[in-house]
Structure 1
Amino acid sequence: MFQMRRWREQLPGIGFTLPSLLLTLVFGVYPIFWAMRYMFYDYKGYGQERFVGLSNFTQLFHDQTYWDSVVNTFIYAGGKLILTLPLSLVLAVILNRGLRGKHLLRAIYFMPTIVSTSVISIVFFIIFNSFNGILNQFLLRFHIIDKAIDWLGPEHAMLSVIIIAVWGAVGNYMLLFIAGLQNIPNDVYESASLDGANAVHKFWYITIPMLGPVLQMVVMLAIINSLKGYESIMVLTEGGPIGKTEVMFLYVYKQFFPIATSGSSVEQQIGYGSAVGFVTALIVGVVTLLYFYASKRMNKVYE
């Protein structure tokens, strides 16, 4: 009787979680196993599938375009992390103080996070346009440059997409840092002030150490999101010019959903795309595990 009562009490919770569980299984778990099956097939999304064993992985091993995209991904992720994390932390420290209008400023900095990536990319395309872009017009008017810069050309395309990524991510990580800062007791800062500590000392010896758990979580999220990011690149450059902004997940996307340019026809590669996606997921997983390992070693050092 008691077991029956406990079961009835749990029914509402099961009812609420069941739809989410079913959606996760159908749209999250099932596609993974579906793609893992096709890693060993030559299947183009139509017609007959043909078992090819490890041929897709052999092709991937010799696919220079993919390995170039891996290098580009780490350049993109590294540039984004180096700029985003310090900027987010500095903004969080500033906006965590008793500034007038700080709530409005937080909302303004967070706004890019909730705006569609496609919309952001189109806006920045107008800004970075080589012929009549807002940025070039501004720099030319104030005589900072002598001629228009091709911001989406081979030399500057990666820098441009990194700037867009930083602009879109700063607000999100800033709020996470603010949440962590608000958990640090003011008494600690007051005691440090009595001992003669200045603002720099408080930041390095109080804020950073006590923000450690939040900092580790933010860095992990930033690494994963940076390695996975491709949406703005797809809208702005489609991985070009000449592959300078081709990243791993954009390359995977192109295998499943080919992007035809200049009237050319590109063939869909479901089987090969599944193999590329599997290897890409492994790379991201290895990087994440290395970060977890490094985080644990750092925790032991500080303990």
Structure 2
Amino acid sequence: MKQRKKDAIAYVFLIPLLVLFAVFLGYSFYFLIKESFYKVNISFREPEFFGLRNYKNVISDKQFWRSLLNTFLLSSANIFFGLTVGYLIAVFLKLKIKGRRFFHAVFFIPSMLPIALMAAIFNSMLQYKEGVINQILRAVGLGGLAQRWLANPDLAMMSVMSVSFFLIGIPIMYYTADLTTIDASVMEAAVVDGAKLRHVVTMILYPMLKSTHKTIILSMLLGGFREMDRVFLMTDGGPGGVTEITGTYIYRASRAPGANIGKVCAASVLVLLLSFVVGAVQLQMTKKKNKG
């Protein structure tokens, strides 16, 4: 009876939030799915039933698949830096070095800043004439290495992905939390057996954090669908669409002259479904981890 009363109190507090979700998110999903079956302009007047043709047009659009690939490439960069640099920093900060709280803040703060701010800063730094990167290269006599980092199709995507190096705060937080659960006697035994620090870090600790790796991979993968700010402010999907991701693809399709908003809705639905699949996998793995 006590548990039922506690559950009832919890539901009372949850009901207002559920109502808000039902009204705003529920209706938004309904509107998005409904309009994806129509050919309609931005005014939403005189819609023409289009059936599945909007979905067929999106699926047959090579730029959509390119944007999807770029989204996963950007997520891969986040994952790579998180599983390597983020892991190593978390391990060394665990060694109780002097000033580790300061270093925790230094590495964590960039992840808490608006991604739009980070993108604007890097956009300025990577400019050809006035950018800090090229100015430093010219100052040390390496002006020949100065590049049009954001305008060169061969370098633009790599330049956008490089920002991921500074967004490792969340992986560090995950690793720091899970490192506290590892029994110190395991590492002590390894050291007694003659294992060096690099062996402990790469061959003992790293495999023991398998569940953390999975959490970071899925979190970063899902986060890739929310990277529009970075790409939009750094390259606007250019040059020539080489850095286009799903967010900028949908935005660009919605603002094109005579845009068919139904096609935009269809593309949004497909991206949502894919993100829901990734989210479902993440929830399932989280449940297994908690049970373990």
TM-score in terms of structure 1 length: 0.84
- The sequence identity of aligned pairs, in percent, is 25
- Residue 18 (1) aligns with residue 27 (2): no
Tell me, in whole angstroms, the C-alpha distance in 2 between the residues paired with 1:11 and 1:280. Answer: 36
SS in 2 for 1:220: helix
- Residue 274 (1) aligns with residue 272 (2): no
AA aligned to 1:241 is P
- Residue 163 (1) aligns with residue 154 (2): no
User: Size of the alignment, in residue pairs?
Assistant: 286
Q: CA RMSD in A?
A: 2.8
In the other structure, the counterpart of 1:31 is 28
Tell me, in whole angstroms, the C-alpha distance in 2 between the residues paired with 1:274 and 1:283. Answer: 14
- Deviations 1:34-78, CA, capped at 9 Å, x for gaps: 211111111223112211111112221332221222232233333
- Residue 133 (1) aligns with residue 131 (2): yes
Contact 1:131 1:148 in 2 (8 A): no
Tell me, in whole angstroms, the C-alpha distance in 1 between the residues paired with 2:21 and 2:278. Answer: 25
- Deviations 1:2-24, CA, capped at 9 Å, x for gaps: 6xx87665554233222322232
Q: For structure 2, list consecutive stretches of 5 or more residues without a partner in the other structure.
A: none
Shift of the alpha carbon at 1:278? Answer: 2.0
Cα pair distance change 1:61/1:216, threshold 3 Å? closer
In the other structure, the counterpart of 1:208 is 206
Shift of the alpha carbon at 1:91? Answer: 0.8
Alignment of 1:69-218 (within 5 A): 69-146=67-144, 148-153=146-151, 154-167=153-166, 169-218=167-216
Q: For structure 1, list consecutive stretches of 5 or more residues without a partner in the other structure.
A: 259-264
Cα pair distance change 1:12/1:286, threshold 3 Å? closer
In the other structure, the counterpart of 2:39 is 42
Tell me, in whole angstroms, the C-alpha distance in 2 between the residues paired with 1:241 and 1:274. Answer: 25
In the other structure, the counterpart of 2:244 is 246
- Deviations 1:150-184, CA, capped at 9 Å, x for gaps: 111122211111112332x2111111111111111
Contact 1:88 1:171 in 2 (8 A): yes
Shift of the alpha carbon at 1:211? Answer: 1.2
Shift of the alpha carbon at 1:203? Answer: 2.1
- Deviations 1:180-234, CA, capped at 9 Å, x for gaps: 1111121211122222222122223421232122221111111221244221101
AA aligned to 2:40 is Y
